[in-house]
């Protein structure tokens, strides 16, 4: 069900939420957090769809702030979505117009769930310093997605310069399966005769850069990034060893192949992760991701991103 409230105020929206619960039996007691989505027109529905899917694992109240035309007269249009239109959540879509209606604490404070954590998500248009924004200061976790920026790698380095505990980026979350598989492989083959590592992926892939930084920091070995623009993201990792190279490769699809000397290629499930899947993972934890913090503030500085070499295969 959708309830439209054109040219309204947050106090009227809060009252309408209470009355809709009484009328339609919507219960908010099971909501575990408030997810605040800051986006712009044209991108809102995709973000709402991903948030709704994530809310099936984490029932929450979703507040979507859509930045409209600042040259129009000051106005706030709101749409409340409950029931089948809101997944396992309540969705409040707030469209702001005019120079004085801005995304700040005053805009959303009356709509926040009491005594519940706040997660802020910028699916597009990452601010220079998310923590320094009005809504970023309210949030326990701040989620960005550098892959959606016009220059993803530059945006990633921007996150490194402005990092605060509680920040994360979905480019890192997309690596969870890769990091798990690589950790198992490295435990299996050991590090004694490792001479180098090659991470292959698209030149503008922030996940490729982050994986290289993680491996550099974790293993204290030289990591080369090989350009491979055929997949649009991360495609393989090769461990160079005196006893023979080991490579985990996923050129396409959801299945990767592990190549080891003297063994037949092994098939490994390594699916590409959706935005909703990554968002749900980040909503599982409200403490700071210390590994991500170390990788983005320390590992990136150890990785020579400028020396990207062409792929050899």
pLDDT band at residue 23 under the 50/70/90 scheme: low
Number of domains within the chain: 2
- Whether 162 is covered by a domain: the verdict is no
- Whether 105 is covered by a domain: the verdict is yes
Same structural domain for residues 20 and 137? yes
Same structural domain for residues 137 and 183? no
Same structural domain for residues 140 and 201? no
Structure tokens at 157: 């380095």
109 neighbors 14 (Cβ within 8 angstroms): no
Q: How far apart are the first and last CA of the chain?
A: 53
Q: Which residue, of 126, 144, 162, is where some domain finishes? A: 144
Full domain range(s) for residue 110: 2-144
Same structural domain for residues 139 and 184? no
pLDDT band at residue 253 under the 50/70/90 scheme: confident
Structure tokens at 228: 């491979």
pLDDT band at residue 307 under the 50/70/90 scheme: very low
- Whether 157 is covered by a domain: the verdict is no
- Whether 163 is covered by a domain: the verdict is no
pLDDT of residue 312: 47
- Whether 167 is covered by a domain: the verdict is no
- Whether 158 is covered by a domain: the verdict is no
Instruction: Say whether pLDDT at 139 is over 70.
Output: yes
Average pLDDT of the residues of the chain: 89
pLDDT of residue 313: 42
pLDDT of residue 171: 96
Convert the pLDDT of each residue in 64-77 to its tens digit. Answer: 999 988 899 999 99
Same structural domain for residues 301 and 180? yes
Instruction: Say whether pLDDT at 264 is over 80.
Output: yes
Same structural domain for residues 210 and 297? yes
Instruction: Say whether pLDDT at 302 is over 90.
Output: no
Same structural domain for residues 181 and 119? no
Average pLDDT score over residue span 164-174 = 97
Half-sphere exposure of 218 (CA within 13 A, CB side): 18
By three-state DSSP, how is residue 88 classified? coil
pLDDT band at residue 19 under the 50/70/90 scheme: confident
Strands 75-81 and 2-5: antiparallel
**Cα angle at 259 between 257 and 265, to 5 degrees?**
65
pLDDT of residue 91: 93
CATH number at residue 114: 3.40.50
What is the pTM assigned to this prediction? 0.90
pLDDT band at residue 203 under the 50/70/90 scheme: confident
Which DSSP category does 274 fall into?
P
Same structural domain for residues 133 and 247? no
Same structural domain for residues 242 and 286? yes
Quick one: 215 exposed, middle or buried, by C-beta within 10 A (0-12, 13-18, 19+)? buried
Convert the pLDDT of each residue in 111-131 to its tens digit. Answer: 999 889 999 999 998 899 999
Same structural domain for residues 81 and 215? no
Instruction: Say whether pLDDT at 304 is over 70.
Output: no
Instruction: Say whether pLDDT at 293 is over 80.
Output: yes
- Whether 253 is covered by a domain: the verdict is yes
Q: Identify the residue with better confidence: 22 or 175.
A: 175
Interhelix angle for 176-189 vs 206-219, to 10°? 30
- Whether 277 is covered by a domain: the verdict is yes
CA distance 7 to 107: 14
| CB atoms inside a 10 Å sphere around CB 225 | 25
Same structural domain for residues 85 and 183? no
CA distance 104 to 97: 14
150 neighbors 126 (Cβ within 8 angstroms): no
pLDDT of residue 84: 66
């Amino acid at each position: 069900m959708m309830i439209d409230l054109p040219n309204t105020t947050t106090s009227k929206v809060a009252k309408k939420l209470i009355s809709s619960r009484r009328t339609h039996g919507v219960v908010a007691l099971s909501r575990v957090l408030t997810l605040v989505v800051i986006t712009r027109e044209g991108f809102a529905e995709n973000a709402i769809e991903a948030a709704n899917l994530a809310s099936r694992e984490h029932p929450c109240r979703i507040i979507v702030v859509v930045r409209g035309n600042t040259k129009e007269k000051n106005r706030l249009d709101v749409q409340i979505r409950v029931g089948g239109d809101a997944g396992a959540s309540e969705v409040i879509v707030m469209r702001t117009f005019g120079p004085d209606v801005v995304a700040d604490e005053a805009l959303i404070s009356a709509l926040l769930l009491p005594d519940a954590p706040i997660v802020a998500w910028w699916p597009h248009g990452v601010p220079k310093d998310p923590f320094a924004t009005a809504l970023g200061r309210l949030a326990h976790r701040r989620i960005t997605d550098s892959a959606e920026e016009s220059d993803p790698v530059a945006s990633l380095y921007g996150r490194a310069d402005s990092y605060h505990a509680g920040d994360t980026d979905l480019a890192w979350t997309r690596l969870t399966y890769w990091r798990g598989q690589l950790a198992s492989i490295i435990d299996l083959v050991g590090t004694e005769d490792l001479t180098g590592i090659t991470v292959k992926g698209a030149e503008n892939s922030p996940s490729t850069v982050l994986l290289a930084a993680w491996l550099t920091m974790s293993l204290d070995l030289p990591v080369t990034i090989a350009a491979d623009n055929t997949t649009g993201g991360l495609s393989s990792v090769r461990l160079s060893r005196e006893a023979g190279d080991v490579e985990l490769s996923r050129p396409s699809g959801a299945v990767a192949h592990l190549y080891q000397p003297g063994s037949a290629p092994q098939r490994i499930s390594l699916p590409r992760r959706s935005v909703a899947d990554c968002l749900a993972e980040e909503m599982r934890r409200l403490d700071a991701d210390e590994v991500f913090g170390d990788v983005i503030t320390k590992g990136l500085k150890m990785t020579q991103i400028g020396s990207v070499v062409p792929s050899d295969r």
